[in-house]
Amino acid sequence: MTVNMGPQHPSTHGVLRLILELSGETVISADATIGFLHTGIEKTAEQKKWQQVIPLVERMDYLGPQSNSLGFILSVERLMGIESKIPERVRHIRVLIAELQRISSHLVWLGTHALEIGAVSVMMYCFRERELLLNVNEMLAGFRMFPSYLRIGGLREDLPPDFHETVDAFLERFPSKLTEYENLLTKNQIWMKRTRGVGVLSKEDTIAYSLVGPLARAVGISYDVRRAFPYLGYETYEFDVPTRTHGDVYDRYLVRIEEMRQSVRIAKQALQRITPRGVFDIQDYRIVPPPKDKVYTEMEGLIQHFLIYSQGFTVPPGEAYVPIEGPRGEHGFYIVSDGSNRPYRIKSRPPGLYACQAVPKMIEGGMIADVIAVIGSTDVVMGDVDR
């Protein structure tokens, strides 16, 4: 029997369509169709100035928006050759934001994943903690979902007052809450029966499908971009890369839970290194807007202000790709510049696309009821897949 699942199915994390060939309750073969959320962000970005692309790319992976913009910014900064001029403080703030973003994204994943398998209450708890992280975003930029706080050459503005206290309170509170979620799930018989041995992908297949990130770490590939190709000074932070060996839905769950613990660890170290007030951009006013007191009092500042907001800045011709470890795995932007003030081409490497491609492989031979569990465990965000 052929069953069409999606694109409007509530458990497909957006609009993923699966065509399942069934024999009884067993999935014989599956075919995934994507593209229902294609918005042409890469094409639109070619018409925007470099700085204007940031809000666009944040809307790709809408659960980890600042990971998108971080990947884009790092590529642009490398191509401009200003990577080494970014102040230490800005790097630590970026690390802190990236790790909070990872926690926030994993919380949505955990909540929805558990909800789909049947543990409804976990979602309420996860969204309670995520709310606190959205509050941090609101403090930073006044925008809860897509703050656009990270900018090429630094940050939008300095940290708000009480930032340290708020983040510190969250980091103190969160580990105990994580234990609370684990008490609900990790040893739960129903959870284990639904997830152990389900959706297994072998190590060879994982590499063949180019899956990196939590899905690869669940089969024992200890590849983490933060370790292999350190950016933003991750080599100076202490953290572990959790790995498991079975590669089933349960192991992916355990890997992500442990990743949240490690993120808290990194975030605490980063928070200690950040001074409450200080320099927040590279202070090269051809790239970042000059401070307002200069704009109002100095001729030069006014000119720079107008240049930034009317023409933007140019990026030397060339291409760059800086991978980062996003919540879903290796994420990055391949950017091409022709030397003008607009990108010539940007291409996101969406980790979700690779996961979607591997979903049929994971669900073939399993039960139809497990399809939901497998899709949930890959943590795909269709905005990221279709762009």
Partner 1 sequence: MGVNPAPPAGPPDPPPPADLSVPGFISPLQSALPDAVTQVSYWVGDWTMIVATNRLLDVMRHLRTAQEASFDACCDVTATDWPPRAERFDVSYALFSTRHRHRVRVKVRVADSQAVPSVTSVWPSANWLEREVFDMFGIPFDGHPDLRRILMPDEWQGHPQRKDYPLEGPGEMLLENPMDWLRLRYEP
- Applying CB under 8 A, among 210, 269, 283, 314 the residue interacting with partner 1 is 210
- Applying CB under 8 A, among 4, 26, 44, 183 the residue interacting with partner 1 is 44
Yes or no: say if 346 and 53 are a contact pair by the CB < 8 Å rule: yes
- Applying CB under 8 A, among 10, 40, 161, 365 the residue interacting with partner 1 is 40
- Applying CB under 8 A, among 60, 353, 372, 374 the residue interacting with partner 1 is 353
Tell me how crowded residue 65 is: count the other CB atoms within 10 A of its CB: 27
- Applying CB under 8 A, among 62, 127, 143, 223 the residue interacting with partner 1 is 223
Q: Which CB, 142 or 316, lies closer to partner 1?
A: 316
- Our finding on whether 357 is near partner 1 (CB under 8 A) is yes
- Our finding on whether 354 is near partner 1 (CB under 8 A) is yes
Rounded to the nearest whole angstrom, what is the least distance from the CB of residue 208 to partner 1 in the complex?
5
- Applying CB under 8 A, among 53, 56, 57, 79 the residue interacting with partner 1 is 79
* Interface of this chain with partner 1, residues 6 to 35, rule: CB under 8 A: 34-35
Give the separation between CA 112 and CA 117, rounded to whole angstroms. Answer: 9
Joined tokens for residue 159: 């940290």
Give the separation between CA 334 and CA 350, rounded to whole angstroms. Answer: 11
Instruction: Using alpha carbons, list the distances in angstroms from residue 106 to 18, 40, 97, 101, 252.
Output: 24, 26, 14, 8, 11
**Interface characters, 314-333, with partner 1 (x: CB under 8 A):** ---xxxxxx-------x---
Q: Which CB, 52 or 357, lies closer to partner 1?
A: 357
- Our finding on whether 78 is near partner 1 (CB under 8 A) is yes
Strand 318-326 and strand 154-155: pairing?
A: unpaired
Q: Which CB, 62 or 229, lies closer to partner 1?
A: 229
Cis peptide before 230 (omega within 30 of 0): no
Q: Which CB, 116 or 224, lies closer to partner 1?
A: 224
Rounded to the nearest whole angstrom, what is the least distance from the CB of residue 114 to partner 1 in the complex?
29
Joined tokens for residue 263: 């993120």
- Applying CB under 8 A, among 62, 291, 344, 368 the residue interacting with partner 1 is 344
- Our finding on whether 228 is near partner 1 (CB under 8 A) is yes
Number of residues assigned to the chain: 387
First to last CA, the chain: 32
Give the start-end residues of each E strand in the chain: 2-5, 17-23, 26-33, 150-151, 154-155, 318-326, 329-337, 345-349
Yes or no: say if 384 and 350 are a contact pair by the CB < 8 Å rule: yes
Give the separation between CA 49 and CA 243, rounded to whole angstroms. Answer: 41
Residues near partner 1 (CB under 8 A), total: 43
In sequence order, the β-bridge partners of residue 150 are 155
- The contact set with partner 1 (CB under 8 A) reads 34-35, 38, 40, 42-44, 46-47, 78-79, 81, 207-210, 212, 221, 223, 228-229, 317-322, 330, 334, 336, 338-340, 344-345, 347, 349, 353-354, 356-357, 386-387
